[in-house]
Structures are given as structure tokens and as C-alpha cells.
Amino acid sequence: MSYVVVLDYGSGNLRSAERALERAGASVTVTADAAAALACDGLVVPGVGAFAACMAGLRAVGGDELIAKRVAAGRPVLGICVGMQVLFAAGAEHGIQTSGCGVWPGVVERLETGALPLPHMGWNTVSFASGSSLFRGIPADTRFYFVHSYALRAEQAGGLPDTALISWTTHGERFGAAVEHGLVAATQFHPEKSGDAGFAVLSNWLGGLE
């Protein structure tokens, strides 16, 4: 059984992430303890709300440094929703740009959806990247639960490494629904709120920790 830490930095949704990971077969601890976050088989970085607030919470517990150390050591990390967004270089909200963790280049921006509503809230399919591990064995018409107004827009994805796998969703415009690069993965949707579809994604991620 893989040991997973859900990083507690004051963001919401921690317990639902914990329960979903336990359902998928992990032993889970919700904590900000640095030793546990560095030693675990997989670190999960959840996130809801504003990019700047999440980065402030991360920095307050040294979470940005923990993520950097795990990435440098080649240890698995999974970001969820704003936990995905903070892995990028920056987030732009209300005309203010906030530095992110910088694991990947790119700026997270507000979606331009035309007449479609924001936040983007509800169930959408995902165009899976070829060779994706997160979506292995999942039918192409499977829907996942999203709730967000900001994302990695397609025009910001060009700077990612050629080896990064980007899966896409469209809500007014195309945006990154998931990114996989080495042992760092992230989803803009909420696998912990996506029922059996999310269970399959988390099970696939956990399978990569063994």
C-alpha cells in the first residue's frame, strides 16, 4: 500500500481528497509536516479558491520548497485544481500576477469563454494525451468534474517541455485539463469529486508509485 501525504496548507477540500485516495487504496495522512511530505511515496497538493491565496498558504508552511525538493529528487507529486495551477510559473488574477512554484513555465489566466458562464462548473470530457498514465484504460467519453475560472490556456502551453503530456478540455476555449511530466502530474478537474472516473485516475496515479 502506497503512503500518500495530502499537503495541508489551509486550502479546502482536504478531507474529500483524503477519502478518495483511501478509496483508491492508499494510506493517507493530511499534514504540513515537512518530514512526512518529503518521505511519502506520493505528495498530493490540493487547492481551491484564488491562486494568490493558495501561494500565500503554501509559502507559510514551506510547501513551495517541499514541492521543489520532491521535484529535484524525482519524487511523485500530484496537483489538483488550484494545486495544479500553482505548479506553473505564475497566475494572473484581477490584473495582478503572482509567482507560482515554477515547476513548469506558463501563466495561469482567466478563461475567455464568450457567452459561456464562469466559473466553468460541471462535467466535461477530456481529450487524453497519447501515452497518458493518468487516463490509462479510461473510456474517451468519460466525464470529469470541473469548477474553476482560471486555467492553463492553450496559448500559454507552448513553453512546456516537449516530453510533457497535456490533456485538454474546451469551455469556450481550449485549456489544460491535466499535465504529466516525469513524476509530476496535475489535474484541473477534481478527481475526488468525479466519482468512478476520478477513482480510476487516482488509482492510475497510485499505481505509478509502486
Task: Write down the pLDDT at residue 195.
Answer: 97
Q: Which three cell numbers stand for residue 23?
A: 478509496
Task: Write down the pLDDT at residue 197.
Answer: 98
Task: Write down the pLDDT at residue 122.
Answer: 97
Task: Write down the pLDDT at residue 196.
Answer: 98
Q: Which three cell numbers stand for residue 198?
A: 476520478
Q: Which of 81, 49, 77, 48 is nearest to 63 (CA)?
A: 77
Say which CATH number the domain at 57 has: 3.40.50.880
Q: What is the distance between the alpha carbons of residues 42 and 77, in angstroms, rounded to a whole number?
A: 6
Task: Write down the pLDDT at residue 128.
Answer: 98
Amino acid in the structure at residue 153: R
User: Which of the residues are catalytic?
Assistant: 81, 190, 192
Average pLDDT, rounded, for the chain: 97
Note the pLDDT tens digit of each residue in 46-64: 999 999 999 999 999 999 9
Domain of residue 111 covers 3-207
Task: Write down the pLDDT at residue 12.
Answer: 75
Mean pLDDT by 10 residues, the chain (210 residues): 96 91 98 98 96 97 98 97 98 95 97 96 98 98 98 95 97 98 98 98 95
Q: How many domains does the chain have?
A: 1
Task: Write down the pLDDT at residue 13.
Answer: 80
Neighbouring CB atoms inside 10 A of 127's CB total 13
